[in-house]
Structure 1
Amino acid sequence: IGGALFSIPAIKGVEFGMGFEAARKPGSQVHDPILLDRAKAEFTRASNNAGGLEGGMTTGMPLVVTAAMKPIPTLMQPLRTVNLDTLEVAQASKERSDVCAVPACAVVAEGEVAFAIADAYMRKFGSDNMADIKAAIKAYKQRLNTVSR
């Protein structure tokens, strides 16, 4: 997921759950205790500081991903640059007038995350046909000794 998000050229940082804040806190304030919901016969977490991802695997909790995007590269009041033909000081060009590309990037980022999850899902359960995928999921749940949802 991180690799998929970093494939977007404007993305400069990615964090899951508490992300970098987790490095500033002791484990007692970061780790997500595992609980057993006996009524549903399934494991859950008391919190989701990890953002639903631990050790490269999702935990069943909601996936919380934050990506940091750099500002758009052109400004209405351009910065100084160097003209490569003359090697003289010049003004950078004005190519666009929008002030924020975050909404568009969010759509791309959501798509990248969806593709990454779908790819992992197909690697785990197959991708040939739905009958085989459903059978693989059922067998997986039986191996985990969980209740089918």
Structure 2
Amino acid sequence: MQSRPYRVPYAAQAGVYTVEFDDSTHFVVSDPTGAEVGHGVAGTAFKGGGLSFTITAGGTAFAAGDSFAVTVAAGSSKFKPFDPANTDGSQIPSGILFATKDVTSADKPCAVVTRLAEVNASELVWPTGMSAGAIATALVQLKALTIVAR
């Protein structure tokens, strides 16, 4: 059986997340219920509450109390094939799909492991043309989720 790396914001809730700055570079992220899901620093990748993003400082510095909303639409936690060329979040793998699924015409149920697994590296299926370096990077990203390929 072959497995395929997939990306999904598995813990993200549908609704409006709030990002509020404590000072010019540090911020706090709260989920739609108001619960704090993490702290971040501008210019550094944030991961928490199922979200993953980077806030880049612009021409005007942030100030304490500045805030904005990040909306997660219902249904946006569906799996999408991993592709390092994408820029929509699916360029970072966050799970392993067991068996292949053709979802070109419709969504389909599937079995996915998103953490705490050891998988056979020779059974992973990567996008066509993916370089050895890109595969090594993806394997490190999976290892960060406690998915170890041997």
Output the TM-score relative to the length of structure 1: 0.24
Judging by fraction of residues, say which structure has more strand: 2
Judging by fraction of residues, say which structure has more helix: 1
Q: Which is higher, the Rg of structure 1 or of structure 2?
A: 1
Q: Which has the higher contact order (CA 8 A, sep 6+)?
A: 2
